[in-house]
Amino acid sequence: MTRALINAPKTARRGEIIEIRAMLAHPMETGFRTGTMGKAIPRDIINRFVCTWNGEEIFSADLFPAIAANPYLAFTAVATDSGTIAFAWTGDDGETRTAETEITVT
């Protein structure tokens, strides 16, 4: 299971530009390496990352094998309304994992 470390402000003023950061603890195995027995290690990467604010997409990224283990993503958004900032990422296994945080906009 992939863990996510999310860093976003708990409060912001309406119209303020905020920075949102996420680090996904994931090996991002490319499938090109071989294990100790000479057998290829299966590919296991995160393919897609999406961030929504109250259900509206504010950031997305397609990830590829060249991305390092434990991908770190940072982006900015304009604080408009209080609510939920949700994060979702999908891997090669087809499973989508999620995390979320709340923000209060005054």
Mean pLDDT of each 10-residue bin along the chain, 106 residues long = 88 98 93 91 94 98 91 97 97 92 98
- Distances from the Cα of 95 to the Cαs of 40, 50, 56, in angstroms? 22, 14, 21
pTM of the model: 0.89
- The pLDDT, as a whole number, for residue 79 is 97
Q: Where are the beta strands (DSSP E) in the chain?
A: 3-7, 11-12, 17-25, 46-53, 56-62, 72-78, 83-91, 96-105
Domains defined along the chain, listed by start: 4-29+44-105 (2.60.40.10)
Residues 20, 26, 31, 37: what is their CA dihedral angle, to the nearest 10 degrees? 160
- The pLDDT, as a whole number, for residue 1 is 55
